[in-house]
Chains A and B, each alone.
Chain A
Amino acid sequence: MYNVAVIVGSLRKDSINREFARALAKLAGPGLKLDLVNIDALPIYNQDFDADMPAEARRLKAEIEAADAVLLITPEHNRSFSTALKNAIDWASRPYGKSSWAGKPVAIAGASGGNVGTAVAQQHLRTVLGHLDAAILGQPEVFFTFKPGLVDKDSNITDESTREFLRGFLNRLSGWIDLISRDRQPQAAAA
């Protein structure tokens, strides 16, 4: 079983992206365990603290490093991904030489109420993760238009075709982790 650290880019209480993340966690089969990572208590990134990182940033790094993969679920704010997500990514990328992202399998998804479905935000995110040398899952792209009732209060996805699409996404993520961990850790994969 793979452990996936899920970072939701929205801090608001009734975030549709958190709802979406919970639905994905529920949809995931026994091979994939999705756990939400808390990012709302991080201070704003400041390079002056690289040498003596705040406890919250150290915890975030540890959670990312312990996971087999990271799933980033972002809203789109002003045609880019959220401040909270950029903040988490920047903290985890530091200090220099000790980034938590290098080689880490990462998948991206996002939900919004509009038709763009976070497509523009996700392109910015890909630029950043590419620079950080994360192993980014290319397809499927998940530009999710969130309509009321699509996820019920028990985190079930109510529409069958959406469920199938997202199941496919999670399967691809699982296969991607297989591939990357085989490539990077031959002994572990053989065991």
Chain B
Amino acid sequence: MAKVAVIVGSIRKDSLNKKLAGALEKLAAGRLQFERVRIDDLPLFNQDDESNPTPEVGRLKKQIRDADAILFVTPEHNRSIPAAMKNAIDWATRPSAQSAFKGKWAAAIIGTSRGRISTAVAQQHLRTILSGHFTALLGSPEAYVQFQDGLIDDQGNVSDEKTQKFLQGFIDSFAALVGAAKPKNNT
């Protein structure tokens, strides 16, 4: 089963995006194995330390390297991605010869917020940032999930059937991409 490293851009305790990641994990069960990547204990990115990073950065890069694909689950902070998300990406990609994204093909982006924009603008920034790193960045469906109270519980259950179907479709497309994009000789 393909392994997916999941990076949630919010580090607050009651993050809506953590709930969304939980729902996706449940919907992907049996097809994609989700591994949450911890990012809340990383230092702020400093290029001076990229060749000799902290153990937390090493752990981040290893988790990413061990995965077949990456799923980015992002909130929108001030019409862009959170500092925590950018921080994880910057550490993961440096130094460039040792980028943890090297050899990865597939990635997908999703995000949720309470507003109608539902992270649409942040996701465009994230696409720009990731486009230099992934050959296969899931283009469709775009997933701008508007969160409402009770939409997803802490066990990853989705209360609204329409949303559940949409998220299932997102996972179907992502799983197909992960399968298709993985080179046959890459075990």
B is a partner of A: yes
Q: What residues make up the interface of A, taking CB atoms closer than 8 Å to B?
A: 10-13, 40, 42, 44-48, 77-80, 82-84, 86-87, 89-90, 93, 120, 124, 127-128, 130-132
Supply 12 A–B pairs (Cβ within 8 Å), ascending by A.
A12-B46, A42-B44, A46-B12, A77-B86, A78-B132, A78-B133, A79-B128, A84-B45, A86-B83, A90-B78, A124-B80, A131-B78
Query: Judging by beta carbons under 8 Å apart, are B132 and A132 in contact?
Result: no
Query: Judging by beta carbons under 8 Å apart, are B93 and A78 in contact?
Result: yes
Query: Judging by beta carbons under 8 Å apart, are B11 and A46 in contact?
Result: yes
Bound CA span A132–B121, Å? 14
Provide the B132-155 mask, 1 if CB < 8 A to any CB of A, else 0: 110000000000000000000000
Bound CA span A175–B86, Å? 34
Q: A45-B82, A90-B83 are in contact. Are A80 and B45 (CB under 8 A)?
A: no
Query: Given the complex, which residues of B lie within 8 Å of A40, measured CB to CB?
Result: 44, 46
Query: Judging by beta carbons under 8 Å apart, are A80 and B125 in contact?
Result: yes
Query: Judging by beta carbons under 8 Å apart, are A77 and B45 in contact?
Result: yes
Query: Given the complex, which residues of B lie within 8 Å of A80, measured CB to CB?
Result: 80, 86, 125, 128-129
Contact of A86 among B46, B80, B128 (CB under 8 A): B80
Provide the B46-74 mask, 1 if CB < 8 A to any CB of A, else 0: 11100000000000000000000000000
Query: Given the complex, which residues of A lie within 8 Å of B82, measured CB to CB?
Result: 45, 86, 90
Distance between A124 CB and nearest chain B CB, rounded to angstroms: 5
Contact of B87 among A47, A48, A83, A131 (CB under 8 A): A83
Bound CA span A87–B86, Å? 9
Q: Known pairs A46-B12, A83-B45; list 11 more (Cβ under 8 Å).
A: A48-B12, A78-B129, A78-B133, A79-B129, A80-B128, A83-B86, A83-B90, A90-B78, A127-B121, A128-B78, A128-B79
Query: Given the complex, which residues of B lie within 8 Å of A131, measured CB to CB?
Result: 78-79
Which chain A residue has the least Cβ–Cβ distance from B78?
A128
Query: Given the complex, which residues of B lie within 8 Å of A89, measured CB to CB?
Result: 78
Bound CA span A20–B40, Å? 32
Decide if B98 is an interface residue (CB 8 Å cutoff): no
Query: Given the complex, which residues of B lie within 8 Å of A42, measured CB to CB?
Result: 44
Provide the B99-139 mask, 1 if CB < 8 A to any CB of A, else 0: 00000000000000000000001000100110111000000
Query: Judging by beta carbons under 8 Å apart, are B44 and A12 in contact?
Result: no
Bound CA span A87–B87, Å? 9
Query: Judging by beta carbons under 8 Å apart, are A44 and B11 in contact?
Result: yes
